[in-house]
Structure formats: structure tokens, C-alpha cells
């Protein structure tokens, strides 16, 4: 026993020592191959991370100085209670939802996501689906991302005003944030319309941000969408009417507790 065991023990210990030592470097190059670090030493040496510090160093690749429809009311303190979050919207949620799920997981929230492909404010308003999902999941915070499929609707103010109002009426007293569409061309007024109805501290205007887009030229890539969500969260901590605890997650993405998918209307 002893001979074999000490031999095995020595192998495990020597290998551990090797990985500990090499992990103090970022990476090691052997010829043309770059060996990644196991991160062990860093994990041991890193200073304790506080909530405030965890925000530092996250740089979004988004630029633009656009109107964000914000409130600058310092009285809005962060609600640190765990929330049941409902995230509804169009296909843009494919990129946003995994990142928001990571935030939810990190901060003890529960996220339900409903993706309705090709949906618009009119479709959601006519179907009154939001009410159904509020009954079903009983959320105490709602995120919406809608508007990308109605960027170019003519005479939008008269056609969609009532739809956006209806959606906000369905939300009722539940705190919410509406994430505006990631314009790839100037819109005919959807951003202004939603912002007017949502009110201060509820609308994050994405128009003016720079995205890496998928091949369709419209949807941000998953990586870019994650940075988009990061921007929304940073904005929320400073300007949202009802900021909630959304510390930067240690993982890039996660799975919502449940994802419901609705097919496009024919």
C-alpha cells in the first residue's frame, strides 16, 4: 500500500506544484502553442472583491452619447431583495437573456424569459400575453425588449401609441425597464414613442450604441448582446427608477429558470 500510495501521492503533488507555479503567469508559449493558465495562483492571491470594486474593469465596447431618458434622482436606493424577474420581448432576447440570467444567478434572482419571435408592441398588446405571464410567473420586476420589428413603421405615433400604452398598463405597478431596440438604421419614431410612455428611469435607449452584428445585420452577436446587457445594468444602477441588486456575475452567461418561446404570427 505504502509504496504505491506514496508514488501516486508524489505524482499528484508534483503536478499540483507545477500547475500552481505556472498559473502565476498569464500564459506560457511552447513553440507556437499558447498554454493557458489554470488560474490557481491568481485565485489564491486575488484581493477580496467588494460589490463596488466588481464594477470596475468591465468595459463595454459600446460608444455613443445618446439620450438615455434617465432620472438623476439620488434618492433611488438599490433594492437588494431577491426578485422574480420576467423578461419578455422579441428575438433580441436570445442574446440578452443569457447575460441577464447570469446576473440573476449571481444576485439570487429568478429569471423567466419569454421570447416571441418577430413580435411587436402591437402583437403583444393585441394578444394581452403579458397579463397571462404576469399571472403565471408572478414577477416583481419586468424587463422588456421590443421595438426592433417596428423601426420603420410609417406614422408610428398614431398606429402604435395605444399598443405601447396597453403594455405599460398591463405591467401595472410592477417595476420595469424597457430596453429599446438596437437600431441599425434611423427609426421612424419608435424610440421616442416608447420613451414618452415609459417615463423617466424606465427606458434604456439603445439607439446610438455600436454593436457587432450577426450576419443578418440586425441582431447583435451573443458577445455584443452581453455587453449591451452590461450597459443596461450599469445604467440601471445610476438612473433606473427602481434599481435592483445586479452585481457583475462571475460567469459570462447562464440559463434562465424557464424559457418560453412563442412562434411568429403567420
Partner 1 sequence: MDNIWFNIQSLLSYDPAAPMIFSSGLFWCLFILFLPVYAILKKRRLQMLVFVVAFSLYFYYKSSGWFFMLLVGTSLVDWGLSRIMVSMCSRWQRRLCLTASIVVSLSVLCYFKYANFFLWNWNSMVEGNFQPLDIILPVGISFYTFQSISYIVDVYKGRVAPTRRWIDYMFFLSFFPALVAGPIVRADYFLPQIERNHTAVSAEMYWGFWLILIGVVKKALIADYISQYNDLIFASPTGYSGFESLMGVIGYTMQIYCDFSGYSDMAIGIALIMGFRLSKNFDFPYKSKNLTEFWRRWHISLSSWLRDYVYIPLGGNRRGTLRTYVNNFLTMLIGGLWHGAAWKFVFWGAMHGVGLAVHKALAPILRKIPDVWPVRAVSWSATMIYVSLLWVFFRADSWLDSWLIIKNIFTNFSPAHILPFVQVRWVWLLMMSLIVVLHSVPSRWIDGIGRWFVRSPWIVKLVVFVAVVQIVVQFMSQEVAPFIYFQF
Which positions lie near partner 1, rule CB under 8 A? 1-16, 18-19, 35-38, 40, 43-48, 91, 94, 98, 105, 115, 117, 138, 250-252, 255, 258-261, 263
Q: Nearest Cα to 205, choosing from 94, 70, 98?
A: 70
Residues 6+ apart with CB under 8 A from 193: 156, 157, 160, 161, 164
Provide CB contacts within 8 A for 108, sequence distance 6+.
Answer: 82, 245
Of the pair 169, 258, the CB lying nearest partner 1 is at 258
Element (H, E) at 109: none
Distance CA 185, CA 134 (A): 33
Work out how close the CB of 105 gets to partner 1 at its nearest, in angstroms, rounded to a whole number.
7
At closest approach, how far in Å is the CB of 253 from partner 1?
Answer: 9
Residue placing its CB nearer to partner 1 in the complex, 5 or 52:
5
Residue 94 or 187 having the CB closest to partner 1 = 94
- The least distance separating partner 1 from the CB of residue 54, rounded to whole angstroms, comes to 14
Between residues 9 and 152, which has the closer beta carbon with respect to partner 1? Answer: 9
**Burial of 120 (C-beta count, 10 Å sphere; 0-12/13-18/19+):** buried
Q: How many residues does the chain have?
A: 266
Please say which residue, 238 or 252, places its beta carbon nearer to partner 1.
252
Instruction: Compute the least distance from the CB of residue 95 to partner 1, in Å.
Output: 10
- Shortest Cβ distance from residue 254 to partner 1 (Å)? 9
Amino acid at each position: 500500500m505504502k509504496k504505491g500510495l506514496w508514488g501516486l501521492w508524489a505524482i499528484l503533488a508534483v503536478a499540483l506544484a507545477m500547475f500552481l507555479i505556472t498559473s502565476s503567469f498569464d500564459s506560457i508559449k511552447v513553440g507556437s502553442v499558447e498554454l493557458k493558465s489554470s488560474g490557481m495562483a491568481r485565485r489564491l492571491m486575488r484581493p477580496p472583491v467588494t460589490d463596488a470594486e466588481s464594477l470596475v474593469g468591465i468595459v463595454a465596447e459600446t460608444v455613443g452619447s445618446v439620450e438615455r431618458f434617465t432620472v438623476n434622482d439620488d434618492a433611488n436606493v438599490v433594492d437588494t431583495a431577491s426578485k422574480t424577474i420576467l423578461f419578455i420581448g422579441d428575438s433580441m432576447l436570445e442574446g440578452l437573456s443569457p447575460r441577464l440570467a447570469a446576473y440573476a444567478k449571481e444576485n439570487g434572482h429568478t429569471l423567466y424569459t419569454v421570447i416571441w419571435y418577430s413580435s411587436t408592441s402591437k402583437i403583444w398588446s393585441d394578444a394581452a400575453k403579458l397579463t397571462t405571464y404576469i399571472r403565471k410567473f408572478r414577477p416583481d420586476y419586468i424587463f422588456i425588449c421590443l421595438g426592433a420589428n417596428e423601426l420603420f413603421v410609417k406614422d408610428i405615433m398614431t398606429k402604435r401609441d395605444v399598443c405601447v400604452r396597453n403594455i405599460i398598463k398591463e405591467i401595472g405597478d410592477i417595476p420595469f425597464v424597457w430596453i429599446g431596440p438596437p437600431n441599425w438604421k434611423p427609426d421612424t419614431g419608435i424610440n421616442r414613442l416608447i420613451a414618452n410612455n415609459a417615463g423617466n428611469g424606465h427606458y434604456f435607449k439603445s439607439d446610438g450604441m455600436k454593436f457587432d452584428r450577426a450576419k443578418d445585420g440586425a441582431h447583435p452577436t451573443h458577445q455584443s448582446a452581453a455587453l449591451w446587457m452590461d450597459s443596461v445594468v450599469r445604467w440601471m444602477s445610476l438612473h433606473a427608477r427602481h434599481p435592483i441588486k445586479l452585481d457583475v456575475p462571475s460567469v459570462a452567461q447562464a440559463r434562465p429558470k424557464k424559457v418560453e418561446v412563442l412562434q411568429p404570427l403567420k
